[in-house]
Structure 1
């Protein structure tokens, strides 16, 4: 594909020699290149500004091309631009000047400081020292956000054309202190399918079963059911399925230093197994009759 042409500095696609499975893997929040001018605009130190990133998630899913599936990954950090939002979810309090009338200023994510251009990281730590020019936000959206999604759409469309279905796995991590509401359970994984609207129930159940079978605790949709990407690209009735997977960071990262834990290779190997199990399941389930292609 030509996604990388001119955009490699912002994101890249790691392609298999030949795509052999109807999967696309996406890691939109694991970027680790922080533009110097962005750091200069921020009042946070180099560790604090990384608190909201999905640390090393692209590495955890690095075997996807070997499996036969493309892996799209961001180089830019989530704190700089969040492609798991609508293109124009912006907080007017962040900008020096009026925003265009088409901007969504009233979403819950904007109210929480987590719009397309985030205002905060982690636990309400303000990113910027001062208001940003409106043109800065529009530039990030035009030059990074839109090309990223154009690339993701191409990958999904190519996969769907080749196999009759496409399964997007949107890969994320979550803080280690996340608990299920009303309990002390801290899940290892959360599978999000927008409460059954973005992917087939069979896919969600299979994902849960495979993780449980490896000894992990896995739950579905709570507290994370999937973001903009899962909601936007999941159309099961058309054979377009989107699952979000959230990994508990405490499994593989020291959340104080953000360094890899010694268990990192174990978790990466488990996710490689998970990807292969999901691919085998789809081949067996579909059985050549496109059972997942149009529910």
Structure 2
């Protein structure tokens, strides 16, 4: 599956306002590319291998009243879950940058000599990164004003075997709370409990993925804003972790039972968090 071009005036974010306390963010599901980016990516880059494939479909309809904030542009245009300053989320560990130069396998995605420079990074920050996060921040403020609390659940997925990033096979559920700092302890504990009880799945809390910039930036439990990143291993829901990255209906149906349980728990927990 290749990336689709523009149009360049495509809004960088789609928002669906819900009436409940839970917000789902999808920063890496976009498959659109600005024309100037598509023209300079190499054949590997145009595959968009590191997209969070089919996450919108995987979470669709699991929780009534949920708000969704969804990226339209590919993470190869700019990564919405990276610090806009360019600072690494995992100092000393291998990772990709604000505008990736390689895939997660360390394979170049740009044609030689066509890599983005500082001016293009600044433009992408202004036209894509900042508008997405302005929309997300506005929804967090709106939801918190209504419910006294907002629970941000940041939806991600990644291939389960990527030697350049981590050793071995990734667990199915990778729960990130920045070491417990981005949400109330009960949220982390209850998500971990649900995942651990799901038969046939493996899970970890604050393992290789502890939560990206979104989780760390917005998670302020003392202010009533709780943020969690869920990184799903794509083997849990794809036919194969290779093109065309097709969704497996049987795997997805089984996984949705656990994901629905997590979201239902979060919504039920919100009134107690608002009173605390």
Show the counterpart of 1:39.
38
3-state SS of the aligned residue for 2:96?
A: coil
TM value normalised by structure 2: 0.84
Contact 1:61 1:268 in 2 (8 A): no
1:79 to 69, 76, 80: 76
Structure 2 unmatched ranges of 5 or more: 1-7
Taking the aligned partners of 1:144 and 1:219, their CA distance within structure 2 comes to: 32
Number of corresponding residues? 264
Alignment map for 1:59-78 (pairs within 5 Å): 59-63=57-61, 67-78=64-75
3-state SS of the aligned residue for 2:156?
A: strand
TM value normalised by structure 1: 0.79
1:247 to 218, 228, 232: 232
3-state SS of the aligned residue for 1:125?
A: coil
Contact 2:24 2:153 in 1 (8 A): yes
CA RMSD between the two structures: 3.0
Contact 1:251 1:264 in 2 (8 A): no
Name whichever of 7-16 and 80-89 sits farther off: 7-16
Taking the aligned partners of 2:82 and 2:246, their CA distance within structure 1 comes to: 28
Change (3 A) 1:203 1:57: same
Show the counterpart of 1:50.
48
1:15 to partner: Cα distance = 3.1
Taking the aligned partners of 1:110 and 1:240, their CA distance within structure 2 comes to: 29
Change (3 A) 1:137 1:226: same
Show the counterpart of 1:97.
none
Tell me, yes or no, if structure 1 residue 88 matches structure 2 residue 85: yes
1:147 to 131, 140, 143: 131
